[in-house]
Homo-oligomer: A and B are copies of this chain.
Amino acid sequence: MKVLSQNTAFGGMQGVFSHDSQACKTEMTFAVYIPPQAIKAPCPVVWYLSGLTCTHANVMEKGEYRRMAAELGLIIVCPDTSPRGNEVPDELTNWQMGKGAGFYLNATEAPWDENYQMYTYITEELPAFVSQHFRVDMDRQGIFGHSMGGHGAITIALKNPERFRSCSAFAPIVEPSTADWSIGAFEKYLGEDKATWRQYDACALVKDGARFPEFLIDQGKADNFLETGLRPWLFEEAIKGTDIGLTLRLHERYDHSYYFISSFMDDHLKWHAERLA
């Protein structure tokens, strides 16, 4: 593990690290916030998955999670959104594909399948690595994210209900199979057969029987992507008749930015802490 930076913050430590990923066959960078409580005992961990174009750094710099994480004693891990490096395929002029747009899935189509194995990276490799290097209570894990990362958090929770005790999302893409800004990427990563897309689509997963106790979703009503990319009402519809709980909050005037995320960050961390206690 390379230590890229370590800064004291709110009595704990915000670090940035990198390691050689087997899943993604490249060096991957991630951020970890260690609250002061972790000196005494292992702390629960909450995974934050970022949105399109982001790296580990966006939420680390703009998410304003450290104060409350320090108060609640939560470790926050912020992975990158895709493999990186010169050897990794990309579409330079397309922000919805390639670097910064891994969609938390395992690509099956060339040339993407070589490195774009973000599902395995996020659900297996990185947790194993983090638990080896930090004092994490792996029996108490939560997951959340923003936009593409909200999609990642909800689908990963639905597919791993035994691992995660809590899940929430800011403005998640709930049905990427039919959303303007993800169809193109799903075709390239997963091929034309839409049946294989369903394992990475929150609405389809629920319809196919996947279950998770409850979700918190915050969504801004002034979000430019609400109608074409996000559409939380599709998830509300999908869970009808199931025992999945949903707290869906729509907020007047809030947009898709980190100004929105940071405004409700405390609520999300409390949501997780209550379920990880």
Contact B257 A7 (CB under 8 A): yes
Determine which of B8, B255, B258 lies in contact with A253 in the assembled complex, contact meaning CB atoms within 8 Å.
B8
Docked CA distance A52–B260 (Å):
28
Specify which chain B residues have a CB less than 8 angstroms from the CB of A10 in the assembled complex.
Answer: 262-263
Q: Which A residues, 1 to 57, have Cβ-Cβ distances below 8 Å to chain B? A: 7-11, 14
- Do B9 and A262 touch across chains, with their CB atoms under 8 A apart? yes
What residues on B are CB-neighbors of A225 within 8 Å?
none
Question: Which of chain B's residues have a CB closer than 8 A to the CB of A262?
Answer: 9-10, 64, 66-67
Given contacts A8-B253, A61-B61, 5 further A-B contacts (CB under 8 A): A7-B255, A8-B263, A10-B263, A61-B62, A64-B262
Given known contacts A61-B61, A61-B62, A62-B61, A7 and B259 CB-to-CB distance under 8 angstroms: yes
Question: A254 near B: Cβ within 8 Å?
Answer: yes
Is A222 an interface residue, CB under 8 A from the partner?
Answer: yes
In the complex, the answer to whether B8 meets A259 with C-beta atoms within 8 Å is yes
Q: What would 13 A/B residue contacts be, using CB atoms closer than 8 Å?
A: A7-B259, A7-B260, A8-B220, A8-B254, A8-B263, A9-B259, A9-B263, A10-B262, A14-B259, A64-B64, A66-B259, A66-B262, A67-B263
> A67 contacts which of B8, B11, B64, B253 (Cβ < 8 Å)?
B64
Chain A contacts with B in 90-128, Cβ cutoff 8 A: none
Question: What is the interface of chain A, defined by CB distance below 8 A to chain B?
Answer: 7-11, 14, 61-62, 64, 66-67, 220, 222, 253-255, 257-260, 262-263, 266
Q: Which residues of B contact A263 (CB under 8 A)?
A: 8-11, 66-67
Closest to A62 in B: B61
Query: Can you name the residue of chain B whose Cβ is closest to the Cβ of A58?
Result: B61
CA distance A7 to B66 in the complex (A): 22
- The answer on a CB contact under 8 Å between B260 and A8 is yes
Report how far A64 CA is from B259 CA in the complex, Å: 10
Complex Cα distance A73/B210, Å? 45
* Across-interface contacts of A260 in B (CB, < 8 A): 7-9
For A222, A254, A260, A262, the residue with the greatest tally of chain B CB atoms inside 10 Å of its CB is A262
| Complex Cα gap A187–B66 (Å) | 41
Report Cα–Cα, A64/B262, bound state, in Å: 9
Given contacts A14-B259, A259-B14, contact A8 B222 (CB under 8 A): yes
CB contacts (< 8 Å) of A255 on chain B: these are 7-8
With both chains docked as a complex, state the minimum distance between the C-beta of A82 and any C-beta of chain B, in angstroms: 23
